Amino acid sequence: MNKQEIPDIIISRLPIYLRALRHMQAEGKLSTSSQELGERIGISAAQIRKDLSQFGEFGKQGTGYDIAYLIEQLREILRVERVWDVALVGMGDMGHALSRYQGFSDRGFRVAMVFDNDPAKIGGQVGNYIVRDAKELVAAIQASGIKLVMLCVPASAAQEVTNQQVEAGVKAILNYAPINLNVPAGVRVQYLDPSIGLQRMTYYLG
Amino acid sequence: MNKQEIPDIIISRLPIYLRALRHMQAEGKLSTSSQELGERIGISAAQIRKDLSQFGEFGKQGTGYDIAYLIEQLREILRVERVWDVALVGMGDMGHALSRYQGFSDRGFRVAMVFDNDPAKIGGQVGNYIVRDAKELVAAIQASGIKLVMLCVPASAAQEVTNQQVEAGVKAILNYAPINLNVPAGVRVQYLDPSIGLQRMTYYLG
DNA sequence: TAGATTGTTAATCGATTAACAATC
DNA sequence: TAGATTGTTAATCGATTAACAATC
């Protein structure tokens, strides 16, 4: 239960388990085994059991895991049993797409405000949002207590905007900009650069 | 040099090195050290040297690495010294954003064709592309020899479309759909589900 | 009950780090 | 030369897997 004892690599698998369990649930399944779950996501049954055992005993010998119960437990562990407000910064094509993304609401997230620094965009409407001036970013994030940001600005602006976010109290950044971000301890970054994703696979192309 | 001997975790770091080196180059730097590169991206100097040593000797004692030379070497190792044609499947908001993304061309990729199954979109123009009917996908990919796909269809369609792509000879899929894909050996998938990215960080939010 | 499957331990495997001779 | 930094080896650390008693 002590957080610094759970390796990050285990935490990073839990959302995968959760996603697969919800798909099983949507298919009408009521229970599953570590074996079956593992086959679906390409992870060994032993690893799934070991990972889950870090947090408690969620299964039953002989019958496996109740899907609804395990989903509930994983949501609590990951703290997505609640809904987190997220700020979206940079309303280019990627920011625009994320502002309209339907997949956040039932996974624990809500885009609460969107920012850009382009006068042509500020004040305009994108999806359900009015684009706010990036100059208000620090004050608005501080006032709202937002801890999560999705960063969709150009690489050239990403570090500066990140510094502002950190100053405003942001603790987690989903970074779409193709650049490494330097953040202080206690702030986390997940990288979603599409080119990196592709370059991780070309090595293997025959 | 034998490909099955190089661990995937090493391959997955090389694009990060490459990206950072290109930023250094853009800043006018000519050479760097494993120490300096490591500080920039949060990876130990020893690990960078160990990773690179899998592929050859690219540095000089005392002076470090020539940035232009190391970039060239990494591009060859990753096979992005050439340009790969990529098919984009699913022209919702995310597909639309990726079709207009400017970051692919100088990282080794080019969106060559885009597909959707919506009659309202087929034949229409998005960015520089005419949207093609997803029914033509297998034939078009086979004919063109495309090995890379960016998948932006809804989760409910992702596995079926993946099966078609595999049949057509696709070897690498960048998957934006929030679902695990089952693919045969020899086909690789990289996952870019934004909700998973966020859920990997909420655990740590105090 | 018999079969299935958990949670956990010990063994194995693999990745990272520290240290340093070589050398630019 | 003296200082810096590589490539590599050995040591350490951490993650995965195999196996099985417990038990549903």
pLDDT in tens, chain B (206 residues): 344 489 999 999 999 999 999 999 999 999 999 999 999 999 999 999 999 999 999 999 999 999 999 999 999 999 999 999 999 999 999 999 999 999 999 999 999 999 999 999 999 999 899 999 999 999 999 999 999 999 999 999 999 999 999 999 999 999 999 999 999 999 999 999 999 999 999 999 97
Q: Which of A49, A127, A195 is nearest to B108 (CA)?
A: A195
> Which pLDDT does position A206 carry in this prediction?
78
| Mean pLDDT calculated for residue range A92-101 | 98
Chain B positions in Cβ-Cβ contact with residue A180 (cut-off 8 Å): 16, 19-20, 23, 40-42
Q: Answer yes or no: do A204 and B3 touch at CB < 8 A.
A: yes
Integer Cα distance of B101 and B113 in angstroms: 14
> Which pLDDT does position B127 carry in this prediction?
87
Bridge pairing between strands A125-126 and B172-175: unpaired
Integer Cα distance of A95 and A92 in angstroms: 5
Confidence of residue A3 (pLDDT cuts 50, 70, 90): very low
Strand D nucleotides in reach of protein CB atoms, 7 A cut-off: 2-9, 14-19, 21-24
> Which pLDDT does position B82 carry in this prediction?
98
Q: Which of A125, A123, A128 is nearest to A100 (CA)?
A: A128
| Mean pLDDT calculated for residue range A169-183 | 98
Q: How far apart are the first and last CA of chain B?
A: 45
Residue type, A133: D
Chain A positions in Cβ-Cβ contact with residue B172 (cut-off 8 Å): 198, 201-202, 204-205
- Picking from B199, B204, B205 by the largest number of A CB atoms within 10 A of its own CB, the best residue to mutate is B199
> Which pLDDT does position B2 carry in this prediction?
40
**In Å, how far are A30, A139, B31 from B59, measured between CA atoms?**
57, 46, 10
| Mean pLDDT calculated for residue range A156-161 | 98
> pTM of this prediction?
0.96
Chain A positions in Cβ-Cβ contact with residue B109 (cut-off 8 Å): 195, 198
Q: What is the mean pLDDT of chain A?
A: 96
Confidence of residue A145 (pLDDT cuts 50, 70, 90): very high
Residue type, B34: S
Residues A54, A55, A59, A64: is their CA dihedral positive or negative? negative
B45 touches strand D (CB under 7 A): yes
Residue type, B48: I
* Three-state secondary-structure class, residue A65: strand
